Chains A and B, each alone.
Chain A
Amino acid sequence: QEQLQQWGAGLLKPSETLSLTCAVYGGSFSTYYWNWIRQSPGKGLEWIGEINHSGSTNYNPSLKSRVTISVDTSKNQFSLKLSSVTAADTAVYYCARGGLVVAAGYNWFDPWGQGTLVTVSS
């Protein structure tokens, strides 16, 4: 099974852009959708969006105007950018493997990355 390792800046100022990357080791990168999920005390677990190896994306409408998820198939990596962050974006951000590219209805998340705490503060 795949292992996911993520990294990125943990402290941002309001209005800056959050940037995180997740590397996938093992398994088949092209078989699945790759997801970003965040967890904050106020909003619990919130799905941010997903991408497949072809670059096809789906985003949570509540964040869509500020989110960009991209993929680098040469490195089996995918990335998250969230622009114009505020204190409300303070959360632990996770990457996770999602559903199959070729079939709907398998969209549980397993495995997950280790999580990155992102704090937005002036």
Chain B
Amino acid sequence: EIVMTQSPATLSVSPGERATLSCRASQSVSNNLAWYQQKPGQAPRLLIYGASTRATDIPARFSGSGSGTEFTLTINSLQSEDFAVYYCQQYNNWLFTFGPGTKVDIK
């Protein structure tokens, strides 16, 4: 099983600032990595797939980068609706696994 870790666990950011979230895989997943956003009481929403491709209707302030074992989700100019929990997920190995999440809250 590929273990996904995320850091930090919580990130406090002021509106309008940039947030940088990290995700690490226990072994290479190539670029087979997705990012999701989850708000309280809602299902996760796909933001990024293929490590860097934005999903349909996702604003350009969300960007993903990385390959192999190290990945980054960057949110530029945080809006009020961006405060949420973010998860990474690998799909390089058929036993799909998720990271524990990073909570982005208001500073």
Contact = CB atoms under 8 A, between A and B. Distances in A.
Interface of A: 1, 44-47, 58, 60-61, 94, 96, 99, 105-115
A61 B95 contact: yes
Interface in B92-107: 94-101
B28 interface: no
Q: For the complex, would chain B's binding face be called helix, strand, loop or mixed by DSSP majority?
A: loop
Given A47-B95, A111-B46, 10 more contacts: A45-B87, A46-B98, A47-B96, A60-B95, A107-B96, A108-B49, A109-B46, A110-B46, A112-B44, A113-B43
Contacts of B95: 47, 60-61
A47 B97 contact: yes
Interface of B: 32, 34, 36, 43-46, 49, 55-56, 87, 89, 91, 94-101
A108 B89 contact: yes
B91 A44 contact: no
Nearest to B31: A105
A112 B42 CA distance: 10
Contact of A47 (B49, B98, B99, B101): B98
B99 to A, nearest CB: 8
A112 B43 CA distance: 6
Query: Which among B43, B44, B55, B100 has the greatest number of chain A C-beta atoms within 10 A?
Result: B43
